[in-house]
Amino acid sequence: MSPAEFFHRNREIAGFSNPARALYQTVRELVENSLDATETHGILPNIYVEISLDASDESKVTVTVADNGIGIPLHEVPNVFGRVFYGSKYVIRQTRGVFGLGVKMAVLYAQMTTGKPIYVRTAPIGSKVEGEYSLLIDVGRNIPYILKMRLRKKERNWHGTIVRLTLEGAWALVKKRIEEYIRRTALITPYASIRYKTPEGEIVFKRVTRELPKPPEKGLYHPRGVDIEILKEMIRSMNSDDATLKEFLTRNFESVGEKTAEEFLKWAGFDPERRIKDLRVQDLELLASKMKSYDKWRRPRSHTLSPLGAYLLEEGVKRILAPEFVAAVTRPPSSYGGHPFVVEVAVAYGGEIQPQDTPLLLRFANRMPLLYDEGVDVSRKVADSIDWSVYKVKFPAPLAVVTHVCSTKIPFKGVGKEAIADVPEVERELEAALRDAARKLRLYLVRLEKMQEVKRREVVYRKYLDEVVRSLSYITLIGEEQLRRKFEELIARELGRVSLDEEGGDSSAN
């Protein structure tokens, strides 16, 4: 059975279980591909998303997504959209998707439900030629079936990709979910301009900053993150019969120098000068086991990651949630199972956030919004485990929590990639970040309470000021204006004129 045939029969595994979920998943895959084609290459994203319904049959939904990315090499287009598990993201670095499945599953679902091919128009950056394609997937052989292909000279100096699909979808059931996905995408990408058009109208999210996060770099495996098959592939790719175990470790693994390799191999009972071609399966099994249990490896470096940063996260939260106060925290890099990860958290309060009995939770993984399966996500577990009264928050409260986990391998609970598993290291970092941000919120709320108390006292003083001034002027024969100035000075001294700025509060909250 070919991969295309497998997912044709088991589409639920990839999140295409019904027309509503399939439509959401299609929009998500196309938008994330567009963002990867722009921000990863230092281009400020301009994304256009349009959803239209067939006039004669509203169950047939057409999704169009256009971007200003680097485009797709013209000879690669058929495979990129017509061959399952064909992709360009199989490297050790942070990416939104790594399966080589997403958009191909959308193509499969479209031809299963409407029989219509995918339309692709792309212009690679720097190319003088653009291409137009109309294609399907040959399910039995897992190869593209090209219905139409046309190459032509660019009409204007543009680059990017336009993709259009028509599939069976339940627009009425999922339109709020898709709009929320677009809103959250705008939150986590404040540097992107997103135009979203639907049968009900159009929403435009203008970029609020031109600053892009630093793109991730390619990296090597960490010794704790390998298994026997990975070791076999590495040995095959070295193409050297004379390479020793020490050379093998120093060339193929992150943060492993000659001294570290020698110390590990002696500890594991291997000769550092043993040739890798002489290793048997039993040796590889022992080597993989020892690599996982050795406790003196250095932690993975974070150059393969691209966290958003506290500033951009705060800007994104202000753009979408419009809170009265926001504080963001980016934790230092950590690791689990040999995979580096960074946790970012923002806490927003007041403003346009509606009061709720529990914190409003917005989850992200590698800058992907996660909308489904919130109840089983580790972020929900951590947010609910915190005693918010310690931080001066009394429910119902206008409180929102934003969590972002970026890693070379997000520990998702399933292929649908909608919930992060309860990995102890990730849970610990999430709690530390959330408590750090919550402490900043507590400082703000304490200052706010103090200001409110000052205002209350000032209102009381001024309520009786005129009467007191008149009475004292009558008794002391001092002019009312002079007495009033004295009392104004006295009130100012008494109340201290406390302000958030003077107390070191967040200026964005004023």
Task: Read off the pLDDT of residues 48-59 as tens digits, 9 standing for 90 and up.
Answer: 999 999 999 989
Provide the pLDDT for residue 474. Answer: 77
Q: Is the pLDDT of residue 210 over 80?
A: yes
Same domain, 411 and 454: no
Domain assignment present for 320: yes
Q: What is the pLDDT of residue 71?
A: 93
Domain end call among 442, 462, 496: 442
The CB-side HSE value for 217 (13 A sphere, CA atoms) comes to 6
Q: Which helix (H) or strand (E) holds 334?
A: strand 334-336
In this structure, the number of other CB atoms found within 10 A of the CB of residue 494 comes to 12
Per-residue model confidence as pLDDT tens digits over 149-175: 999 998 788 899 999 999 999 999 999
Q: What pLDDT is attached to residue 429? A: 94
Residue 358 lies in a domain: yes
* 31-46 tens-digit pLDDT: 999 998 999 889 999 9
Q: What is the rounded CA–CA span in Å between residue 329 and residue 441?
A: 12
Higher pLDDT, 418 or 160: 160
β-bridge pairing 334-336 and 143-153? unpaired
- Residues with Cβ within 8 Å of 503's Cβ and at least 6 positions away in sequence, in order, are 447, 450
- Lowest model confidence (mean pLDDT) among 140-149, 227-236, 346-355, 372-381: 227-236
| Contact yes or no for 343/405 (Cβ under 8 A) | yes
Residue 415 pLDDT: 66
For residue 94, report the phi and psi dihedrals to the nearest 5 degrees.
Answer: -70, 125
Bridge partners for 20 per DSSP? none
Mean per-residue pLDDT for 234-254? 84
Lowest mean pLDDT among 105-109, 170-174, 336-340: 336-340
Both 462 and 437 in one domain: the answer is no
φ and ψ of 461, to 5 deg = -60, -45
Q: Residue 371 pLDDT > 60, yes or no?
A: yes
Highest mean pLDDT among 133-142, 320-329, 455-464, 498-507: 320-329
User: Do 189 and 327 share a domain, yes or no?
Assistant: no
Q: Which domain holds residue 438?
A: 310-442
- Is 360 contained in some domain? yes
> 231-239: which pairs have CB atoms within 8 A and are 24 or more residues apart?
231/284, 231/287, 231/288, 232/284, 235/276, 235/277, 235/279, 238/276
Give 219's strand partners.
Answer: 92
User: Has residue 91 got a pLDDT over 60?
Assistant: no
* End-to-end CA gap in the chain: 62
Q: How far is CA 139 from CA 76, 99, 136, 313, in A?
A: 19, 18, 9, 42
424 in Cβ contact with 432 (< 8 Å): no
Other residues' Cβ atoms within 10 Å of the Cβ of residue 125: 14
Kindly report the CATH number assigned to the domain that includes residue 416: 3.30.230.10
pLDDT in tens, 425-470: 999 999 999 999 999 999 999 888 877 777 777 777 778 778 888 8
One domain, residues 197 and 261: no
What is the per-residue pLDDT for 299? 80
How far is residue 309's CA from residue 289's CA, in Å, rounded to a whole number? 36
Widest Cα–Cα separation across the chain = 109
CA distances from 445 to 56, 89, 320, 505 (A): 55, 45, 22, 10
Residue 303 lies in a domain: no
Cross-strand bridge partners of residue 129? 153
Mean model confidence pLDDT for the chain: 87
Rounded to an integer, what is the distance from CA 111 to the centroid of its chain?
A: 30
Read off the pLDDT of each residue in 328-336 and give the average, rounded to a whole number.
90
**pLDDT of residue 506 exceeding 60:** no
pLDDT at position 49 is 97
CA pair distance 196, 40, nearest whole angstrom: 22
Among candidate residues 235, 261, 293, the one where a domain is terminated: 293
pLDDT at residue 93 in the model: 66
Strands (E), 154-233: 160-168, 193-198, 201-205
Encoded tokens for 188 = 């986590």
Q: Is the pLDDT of residue 498 over 60?
A: no
CA dihedral over 411, 412, 414, 415, signed as positive or negative = negative
What's the whole-model pTM score? 0.81
Average pLDDT over residues 165-193: 95
- Span of 289-298, 303-312, 479-488, 499-508 with lowest mean pLDDT: 499-508
Q: Is residue 305 part of a domain?
A: no
19-33, 295-309, 480-494: which is most confident: 19-33
**Sequence letter at residue 38:** T
